[in-house]
A and B are shown apart, each in its own frame.
Chain A
Amino acid sequence: MSDLSLTTKKSKKRSSITLGQILWNWGPPAVTFIIVAVLWQLVAINNPYVLPTLDAIGNSFASDPKMYWSNMLVTAQEIAIGAGAGIFFGFLLAVAMAELPIVEKAVMPLIVVVMVTPVVAIAPALVVAFGFGMLPKYIVTALVVFFPMLVNSLAGLRDVDQKALDVFKTLHASRWEIFRDLRLPGCMPFVFAGLRIAMPLAVVGAAVAEFVAAGQQAGLGSLVTIAAAQANLPVTWASIALLCLLGVILVSVLAVLRKRVLWWSDEDLIGR
């Protein structure tokens, strides 16, 4: 009976979503964006050497979409491979540290040293070592993503429900069983918190790597530096906008993925 009343409540809610809810959800942010756009335009028209007008940026996109597209693909590739590797190895090392205390003891001091070293400072050295190809960009992006992943995953793997662990132990569960059925699924909220930090950083990492490795004239970051050096404001800002778009896409994909994997950790998703 309670189930029945629940579904009716839900369907009622759904029907009212169509009108007021949409306005409520999208109205306020839309107003904010419109205000910002108007202010931007005002500043740009009066100060052409500070900001390009929005229509100038639009024209720049329209005049050479292929150039933007190919540069965006390069940056996207750096993020995909670099961040992918950073996420993978960050998580892997977290698992090793959680399962084998000696690994943490041995590696953590090094991790801390590397973590406090600014990646911006490492990037030129990597370019010297590995040239102007893609490799240093992958490494910089991976490095930036690696630490939040490692730290968050490790915290998640440690944050086990002790009472549930007790139940597993009395059943004489193997370490693998404890990992598979308890630690791994249980650490996912932390992993996603780590990804939420890591994803925007991945864009930063890729852009910074391209700033430094300016010789290879590809990628949105390179595009920004080159256009800025030529005082070409529309291209500069168009590239920045695309970097921003990449970040938004990443964060959105992550949000969808999170709903899929972590439905159980959110009370409104599970539908109490």
Chain B
Amino acid sequence: MSVSSFAHANAVHPDDVGVQVSNVVKSFGADDTRTTVLNGVSLSIKKGEFVSLIGPSGCGKSTLLKVVAGLSEADSGSVTIKGKSVREASRHKAIGLVPQSPALLPWRTILENVSLPIKINPSANAGRALRDPREILESFGLGHAINKYPAQLSGGMQQRAAIARAFVFDPEILLMDEPFSALDEMNRDQQRMGLLDFWQSNRKSVLFVTHSVPEAIMLSDRIVVMAAHPGRIAEVIDVDLPRPRSEAMYASDGFRDLETRVRASLRQVMEAARV
């Protein structure tokens, strides 16, 4: 249980910090049944860094994502995105969200759905590198589907469109909340590699919540293992596998070693919770 005094002492130049989470505390419920979901969580994500959050249910990983997204307010502590408050950042459309379900609008075509973030809050469009929605759909392998409606696509393709929607308006940070959790295993792997390919040529800061150890290793630069009751960061594991990565990496020794390490860390967290 003595992993609480975790401090990430990487000296990072302030300009390189994408997201800074400092001492965030969040609890839910009325006074006597109040449970602490996040207990002093600090984390920094560098520009262009891919960070995964993994941990047992109740560890607050989704809550942390919500706080960073500005969808939930922290009780104390602060979150800054490129030095700006979350509110300010969302006003400037600095946050791209990929929710658990694709959440595409069924009455809009795929192209219209992906164009939506450009249409919404247009005053924040000035001075940013908006992507061409058609082009981005092409590179996500959805070029044939731009005029189709979400219901005409498979779940995997819908989720890919939702990811394209988050990339299209050039946000500072992408927040992904288990985007592939609703897909079957084969589909999942395919979408995961698709995201990896796209991200490797379009580096953005990403905070990625997942349940899957291989997924976290394959995609991330760092894996943040969280513990539950109260939710906190237990360990941060650097993923030092070379990039660009590909499917072949699953079979490498480095990958297996990391998998063993992450699983051991998760086991420790689970056992600590049981005591």
Contact = CB atoms under 8 A, between A and B. Distances in A.
Interface string A68-83: 0000000000000000
A271 B99 contact: no
B18 to A, nearest CB: 15
Q: Counting chain B CB atoms within 10 Å of each CB, which of A166, A167, A172, A181 scores highest?
A: A167
A171 B103 contact: no
B103 A164 contact: yes
Given A164-B105, A267-B151, A171 B90 contact: yes
Interface in A158-191: 161, 163-164, 166-174, 177, 181-182, 185-186
A181 B99 contact: no
Contacts of A166: 69, 71, 97, 99, 103
A270 interface: yes
A272 interface: yes
A49 to B, nearest CB: 56
Interface string A237-272: 000000000000000000000000000110100111
Contacts of B7: none
Contacts, number: 69
A265 B106 contact: yes
Contacts of B17: none
B152 A270 contact: yes
A170 B152 contact: no
Residue of B71, B101, B120, B165 most packed against chain A (CB within 10 A): B120
A264 B120 contact: no
B121 interface: yes
Interface residues of A, number: 23
Given A181-B105, A182-B105, A169 B70 contact: yes
A182 B108 CA distance: 11
Contacts of B97: 166-167, 170
B121 A177 contact: yes
Nearest to A164: B103
Contact of B103 (A167, A181, A264, A272): A167
B91 interface: yes
A169 B99 CA distance: 12
B96 interface: yes
Contact of A163 (B103, B116, B120, B124): B103
Nearest to A171: B120
Contact of A173 (B70, B104, B120, B149): B120
Interface string B61-74: 00000000111000
A168 B116 CA distance: 9
A185 B105 CA distance: 9
B230 interface: no
Interface of A: 161, 163-164, 166-174, 177, 181-182, 185-186, 264-265, 267, 270-272
28 contacts: A161-B101, A164-B105, A166-B69, A167-B97, A169-B71, A170-B69, A170-B90, A170-B96, A170-B97, A171-B90, A171-B117, A171-B169, A172-B91, A172-B93, A174-B121, A177-B120, A177-B121, A181-B105, A181-B119, A185-B105, A185-B107, A186-B105, A264-B106, A264-B107, A264-B149, A264-B151, A267-B151, A270-B151
Interface of B: 69-71, 90-91, 93, 95-97, 99-101, 103-107, 116-117, 119-121, 124, 149, 151-152, 165, 169, 175
